[in-house]
């Protein structure tokens, strides 16, 4: 993955910096993105007598909680954002929730805030659409679930 500098990214509006509005970022997750993950979900659903939907939710929740427990390697979401912005940053808190689409439940990751704190200075970086889309791709690669889209939800 090519790491773009903040200066190279297009910002939707400089006005955003003058009138800060706090938003949560909801990263919506879809179906398994690999055949191996899909086969695993199907096999485990049969073994555990669960629906495919319930097994997908359980599997994603298990992965999410496992990465959140690994403190020695660093915060997973800090590392995701650092890969994208090529700078040491601290990301807002992340939690796991769900959403319904066409009467089917899917997982979503909620990032509680839309600014990253710079580690080497007092500055902050606004998480623009390009940054969050790139982080979504990192999450898709790591979790083996498709990153569908994201929403900004005003706090």
Tens digits of residue pLDDT in 98-131: 999 999 999 999 999 999 999 888 899 999 999 9
In a domain, 8, yes or no: no
Q: Is residue 4 part of a domain?
A: no
Q: Which domain holds residue 65?
A: 23-154
- Kindly state whether residue 82 falls inside one of the protein's structural domains: yes
pTM for the model: 0.84
H helical segments located in 27-155: 35-47, 52-69, 76-85, 129-143
In total, how many domains does the chain have? 1
In a domain, 3, yes or no: no
In a domain, 79, yes or no: yes
Q: Is residue 127 part of a domain?
A: yes
Give 56-93 pLDDT, tens digit per residue: 999 999 999 998 887 666 789 999 999 999 999 999 99
> Distance between CA atoms of 120 and 85, rounded to whole angstroms?
14
Q: Is position 63 within any domain?
A: yes
How much is the pLDDT for 120?
A: 86
Q: Tell me: the pLDDT tens digits for 32-47?
A: 999 999 999 999 999 9
């Amino acid at each position: 993955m090519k790491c773009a500098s903040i200066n190279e990214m297009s910002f939707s509006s400089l006005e955003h910096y003058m009138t800060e509005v706090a938003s949560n970022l909801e990263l919506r997750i879809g179906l398994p993105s690999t055949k191996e993950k899909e086969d695993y979900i199907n096999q485990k659903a049969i073994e555990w007598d669960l629906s495919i939907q319930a097994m997908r939710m359980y599997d994603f929740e298990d992965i999410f909680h496992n990465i959140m427990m690994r403190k020695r390697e660093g915060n997973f979401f800090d590392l995701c954002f650092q890969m994208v912005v090529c700078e040491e940053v601290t990301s807002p808190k992340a939690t796991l929730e769900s959403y319904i689409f066409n009467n089917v439940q899917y997982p979503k990751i909620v990032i509680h805030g839309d600014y990253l704190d710079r580690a080497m200075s007092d500055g902050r970086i606004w998480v623009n659409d390009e940054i969050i889309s790139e982080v979504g791709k990192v999450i898709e690669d790591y979790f083996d679930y498709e990153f569908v889209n994201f929403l900004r939800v005003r706090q």
